[in-house]
Amino acid sequence: MIITVAGAKKEVADGLTVAQLVIDEKVETPEYVTVTINDDFVEHGQFEETVLKDGDNVEFLYFMGGGQ
């Protein structure tokens, strides 16, 4: 199936979970990443059971603190 990851189309195996995609994409500091699928946020506790579907658009987001 074809999904879009961070703006790039990729062919991935059917049944791919968000947790496996995070591993496959070698996401740095996965404990701090926020994932959206089609602009909907996925809770960290749902990564293992959230299965991606053909045509999904996945983004990895990092929220940074700082400033003064």
CATH number at residue 9: 3.10.20.30
Q: Give the single-character DSSP code of 55.
A: T
Q: What is the pLDDT of residue 65?
A: 67
What's the total number of domains in the chain?
1
- pLDDT computed for residue 28 by the predictor: 87
pLDDT truncated to tens, each residue of the chain (68 aa)? 999 999 999 999 999 999 999 999 999 889 899 999 999 999 999 999 999 999 999 999 987 666 66
How far apart CA 36 and CA 42 sit, in angstroms, is 6
- pLDDT attached to residue 40: 98
Task: Provide the domain limits for residue 13.
Answer: 2-61
Supply the pLDDT for residue 68.
65
CA distances to 5, 22, 40, 67 from 25, rounded to whole Å, are 9, 5, 19, 30
Residue 67 counted as domain residue: no
Cβ neighbourhood burial of 57 (10 Å; 0-12, 13-18, 19+): middle
Residue 66 lies in a domain: no
pTM of the model: 0.89
Does residue 37 belong to any structural domain of this protein? yes
